[in-house]
Amino acid sequence: MEDKDRKDLLKHIDRLEKFARKPENLWLLVNLQQRFSACGKKEELSEIYELCLDKNLRQQANDFYKVFPTKDIVQRLVDNFVKMGQYDSEGNMLWSTQQRLVDNFVKMEHYRRKDYFDEFVLAVYQQIEIITDVFCFNRQFDQVATRLMGHPAYVSSAKDSKGNWELPTLRSRVGSYPIAQLLFGKDNAYEKAQVPLHSLSPLDRIYVVLYFICYGAKLQPSQYYTFMEHKSLIGDIFYFRCRFYGGSFSASQWQEDIYNRVTAQKGFYYMKFLQLLCFFVENAADGALSFDSLCTYAMQQKPISLTTSDKDANRNLF
């Protein structure tokens, strides 16, 4: 077949695909499958269908990640990376970061379609981890988070000089409950607040980005239960990641209970984990755009040191 004829035929196939993809034209796909099957080519038709599906999913993935300004973030932060040495000053990691996000989105949707739930959850986790590491392996963000770990976790609205309520700001902090305790728990807050972000566990790094970037370090008391639900869902996903990779990981009974609880309602958790991913990507994008403001605020604050005695301190949650 001549190249020109092949190109013309491919154009016809593209038009046929668009037409057949409409729900009211399902009969066409069925008819084509019957004809190819009669010729012993059913596998080829399935392969063509999968290729078309992959193309559409990849377009959806690119559209989905348009909201996340990968290029802007990484180019602003490139000189501050402390671990990802493969990223050069030309910003050549941009393709890699964006491509990994898109590839995992496509895998996630393929797994959901095939009902491979464990693999689906792993693909969700990997997208969250990629975004998390964009921030946590950055020296500037590490300085910001470390500097603020001992500061109060909550902000509150207040009235201005005219008596009108203002939106909460980074400066309108209330209470004495420290950020580190909210993120890592009472028993671990002191130790984990002392180490660089890239030395924390992957799960703890995600918690850090959740608070400082997704919530913009401006968590209101009324958002506490929503924040804790997000932490809980992230913990569920992380457990699946550990289970999937295996190795020396040995699940405790409560971790097995997590697995059994989630898989027993996987139809529900498909949607819950997708909602979490949407929240994380959208709010990480917003947090990235206000990153400079967070840095400016943090550098103007004196660190509040946590001590081992904080483990025994009875601090109010709000």
For 275, list phi and psi in degrees, rounded to 5.
-60, -40
Cα separation, 55 vs 262, in Å, equals 31
What residue type is assigned to position 182 of the chain? L
CA 41 centroid distance within chain: 41
Q: CA-CA-CA-CA torsion for 132, 135, 137, 141, nearest 10 degrees?
A: -140
Q: Distances from the Cα of 66 to the Cαs of 55, 89, 98, 140, 281, in angstroms?
A: 17, 23, 10, 24, 10
- pLDDT band at residue 154, thresholds of 50, 70 and 90? very high
Q: CA-CA-CA-CA torsion for 132, 170, 236, 264, nearest 10 degrees?
A: -130
CA 98 centroid distance within chain: 13
Q: Which uninterrupted H or E stretch holds 158?
A: strand 158-159
CB-CB contact of 131 with 205 (8 Å) = no
pLDDT exceeds cutoff 80 at 6: no
Q: pTM of the entire structure?
A: 0.78
Q: Is 68 helix (H, G, I), strand (E, B) or coil?
A: coil
Q: Which uninterrupted H or E stretch holds 276?
A: helix 266-289
Provide the pLDDT for residue 41.
Answer: 52
Q: Distances from the Cα of 68 to the Cαs of 36, 72, 77, 117, 293, in angstroms?
A: 42, 9, 15, 26, 18
Q: Which of 135, 145, 1, 24 is nearest to 81 (CA)?
A: 135
Provide the pLDDT for residue 111.
Answer: 93
- Residue-wise pLDDT for 65-96, tens only, equals 887 765 555 555 544 443 444 444 444 454 57
Provide the pLDDT for residue 249.
Answer: 53
Provide the pLDDT for residue 247.
Answer: 53
Say if residue 30 is exposed, middle or buried (CB neighbours under 10 Å; 0-12, 13-18, 19+). Answer: exposed
Instruction: Give the least confident one: 32-46, 135-149, 232-246, 282-296.
Output: 32-46
CB-CB contact of 153 with 220 (8 Å) = no
Provide the pLDDT for residue 71.
Answer: 56
Q: Which uninterrupted H or E stretch holds 175?
A: strand 173-178
Beta bridge partners of 219: 154
DSSP-derived secondary structure letter, 155: E
- Residue-wise pLDDT for 51-70, tens only, equals 677 788 888 888 888 877 65
Q: Give the pLDDT mean for 242-252.
A: 67
The residues spanned by each domain of the chain are 41-311
